[in-house]
Amino acid sequence: MRIEIWADVVCAWAYIGKRRLENALSGPEPAEARAEVVWRPFRTDPTTPDQASPIEEAWRDPMVDAALRQCAPGPSPAENWVRISRVAADEGLGPKWGAAWRASSHDAHRLLQLALERGGAVLQNEVAEQVMKAYFIDGEDISDRHRLEAIAVRSGFAEGAELLDTDAGDREVRELLLIGKARGITTSPTIVVGDRALAGAQPPEAITELLAGGDRGRTVPEEVRRLRWAESLLDQRDPLGALTLLKPLLDGHADDLNVRRIAARCYFHSAQLARAHDVLKQLITDAPDDSYARLMLGRTLQRLGREDEAVPHLKVAAVMTPEYA
């Protein structure tokens, strides 16, 4: 059974959730032997700059305050920190507790992804532990490349220290962030098993109940998943993100009508009208009964200022599908 933890390593609840998951996996009938725990990236504060700043200073910024509430909802970050510290102590985290820096977690997520690729889930889990310990207990700036390299070595992943100086893992992390968005992940942490999710650092009992259901998700081909994710991002008005997830399909399945339809929508909604036009023109040649493609081509031509060319396509689309009139 694969257990995914979508979380930001600078979210205190992610570290608490890790301990609670470990507690759930070590129950009377341990599932740990047959469970694979995989960490996936999430960003609670995408606006965090590359250069870290003292966290008390960051709390005075209203925009940062709003971002931090995704991880720790409540009256204020400072008040929440007191409450979370108590919860962390109950989970055996400490005795010293508290982040000292508002730090970007992007490179830390790269390190976790590289650990998974090079050493598997067990190594990745150790890296996650060491990264969060460094941030929340040792008060380190985990956006500092040298600190991350030291963490990689401590975790038994010396290769990761060298890889951090390259762009390794960057594309994968950015794509996973889009996949998480497409799958509706909005909270750090969110534990996912199959097609079921548990948002937040829930008590071990709730996690045990989730795990007891096993992985009931249907096996869906990778190509179908990517199409669904791309559609989800389009629905969330992120056509460029949708195109990113669609790229492997455009590279390997460029003749597929469904891939081309979604690509055309992505181009249209990202104002890449010339590309949208070319895809849609070929699409109605190959599938002349596709009324939606005709509608989209007509609208694309309108936005290109070619109204006379748009009218015939819009009329045909309306005849084929009256609701398009």
- pLDDT tens digits, 157-189: 999 999 999 999 999 999 999 999 999 999 999
Q: What is the pLDDT of residue 56?
A: 79
DSSP strand pairing (2-7 vs 190-193): antiparallel
In this prediction, residue 76 has a pLDDT band, given cuts at 50, 70 and 90, of low
Q: Which of 37-51, 271-285, 298-312 has the lowest mean pLDDT?
A: 37-51
The overall average pLDDT reported for the chain is: 91
- Of 308 and 71, the structure prediction assigns the larger pLDDT to 308
CB atoms within 10 A of CB 158: 11
The answer on pLDDT for 66 being more than 90 is no
Q: Which of 82-96, 130-144, 309-323 has the lowest mean pLDDT?
A: 82-96
Q: What is the pLDDT of residue 73?
A: 58
With a pLDDT cut of 90, the percent of the chain lying above it is 79
Question: Rounded to whole angstroms, how far apart are CA atoms 207 and 193?
Answer: 10
Domains and CATH numbers, the chain: 2-212 (3.40.30.10), 222-324 (1.25.40.10)
Half-sphere exposure of 224 (CA within 13 A, CB side): 4
Q: Which of 18-22, 92-96, 229-233 has the lowest mean pLDDT?
A: 92-96
**Closest residue by Cα to residue 188 from 245, 180, 174, 196:** 180
Enter the tokens of residue 258.
Answer: 């469904």
Question: Rounded to whole angstroms, how far apart are CA atoms 300 and 307?
Answer: 10
The answer on pLDDT for 32 being more than 50 is no
**Closest residue by Cα to residue 49 from 136, 141, 128:** 141
The answer on pLDDT for 30 being more than 60 is no
The answer on pLDDT for 31 being more than 80 is no
Instruction: Give the chain's length.
Output: 325
Question: Rounded to whole angstroms, how far apart are CA atoms 165 and 157?
Answer: 14
The answer on pLDDT for 72 being more than 90 is no
* Burial tier of 250 (Cβ tally within 10 Å: 0-12, 13-18, 19+): middle
In this prediction, residue 81 has a pLDDT band, given cuts at 50, 70 and 90, of confident
Question: Rounded to whole angstroms, how far apart are CA atoms 323 and 89?
Answer: 60
65 φ, ψ to 5°?
-55, -45
